[in-house]
Amino acid sequence: MEFFKIRFGDRFDDLTSRFEKTIEDMLGTMGPSFLISQRSWRPPMDMFETSEEIVILAEIGGVAKEDLEVEISSKAVRIQGSRPSPACAQDCTYRLAEIQYGRFERILFLPSPIDPEKVTASSKNGFLEIRLTKRPLDLSYKVPITQE
């Protein structure tokens, strides 16, 4: 059985601001020449939910399990890792270079509360699948009243 590193936390301290993220997205759509200094990429992801769970699919072909990390808080999931670029001969000349390499980080905000005790992650055919069981919204707790 393969295991993925999953961390739980309440905060993502190093989240970039919305403005920085907007600029990064804008420059990323203009082509790879704007991102050469960072060498980062954004793997495509899907997130959908059923009545019982939230499912996240990430296309991460070429990323080793050891280079992948999933962190879960009460409100979001952070998926980060890196995909190394293949070794190229010294005398090679690229005729086409569309595959992105380097570090990546994606933060997805969850549409409903989840149970952190019931999270699974698996990888198959270049896809990472994270399954998060929803926490029932109709839970109620009795609060004891003390007399002073």
Considering only CA atoms, which of 140, 6, 16 is closest in space to residue 73? Answer: 6
What are the residue boundaries of the structural domains of the chain, listed by start? 14-86+98-134
Q: Alpha-carbon distance 115 to 148, whole Å?
A: 36
Asked if residue 132 lies in contact with residue 121, where contact means CB atoms within 8 angstroms, the answer is no
**In a 10 Å sphere around its CB, with 0-12 CB exposed, 13-18 middle and 19+ buried, how is residue 12 labelled?**
middle
Q: Alpha-carbon distance 50 to 52, whole Å?
A: 5
- Digit-by-digit pLDDT tens for the chain (148 residues) are 556 666 666 555 444 445 555 655 665 555 444 444 455 789 999 999 999 999 999 999 999 999 999 999 878 999 999 999 888 877 888 888 888 999 999 999 999 999 888 899 999 999 999 999 998 776 677 888 888 8
pLDDT of residue 37: 44
* Beta pairing class for 45-49 and 76-83: unpaired
The SS3 call for residue 46 is strand
Q: Alpha-carbon distance 133 to 131, whole Å?
A: 7
pLDDT of residue 69: 94
Note the pTM of the prediction, 2 decimals.
0.67
Q: Which long-range contacts (CB under 8 A, 24 or more apart) does 45-50 make?
A: 45/79, 45/106, 45/108, 47/108, 49/111, 49/112, 49/134
Which residues, in sequence order, are bridge partners of residue 35?
Answer: none
Query: 14-86+98-134 has which fold?
Result: Immunoglobulin-like (2.60.40)
Helices (H), ranges, the chain: 18-29
Considering only CA atoms, which of 127, 4, 132 is closest in space to residue 57? Answer: 127
